[in-house]
Amino acid sequence: MRSEVFLMILGMAAITYVLRFAPLVALRRITFPERFTKTLRFIPIAVLSTLIVPAILMPQGSLHLSYDNSYLIAAIVTVIVAYKTKKMIFAILAGILVIFLLRLIFGFI
């Protein structure tokens, strides 16, 4: 490997590290209000929902609410399994199994 490429990769790694580490150092002495920290706990689920819901409801780019939407059927089954069992692994496996069976039996895309 040429030394320029290695130095470039090393430089990018250092910049990435500094950009991620700097806010932790700068904000470690600041205490945020409890309401603010409670609100921050909802960010991951909000971001995940904005990624997953369109993929489930609009698999071909437009709203598709029908019985042949395998993603919607699998999502409904996954939510039910997650609610009943309270185990994430069972919910994930149920969703994968439903998608697999629908594609195998009915040829859903």
Tabulate helix, strand, coil % of the chain (nearest 5): 75, 0, 25
The CA distance from 30 to 35, in Å, is 15
- pTM for the structure as a whole: 0.66
- Residue 78: which residues within 8 A CB-CB, separation 6 or more? 91, 92, 94, 95, 98
pLDDT by residue for the chain (109 residues), tens only, comes to 688 899 999 999 999 999 999 888 888 888 889 999 899 999 999 999 999 999 999 988 889 898 888 999 999 999 999 999 999 999 999 999 999 999 998 886 5
Q: What integer pLDDT is reported at residue 29 of this predicted model?
A: 84
Give me the residue spans of the domains in the chain.
1-30, 42-105
| Count of CB atoms situated within 10 Å of the CB of 98 | 19
Sign of torsion, CA 83 86 92 98?
negative
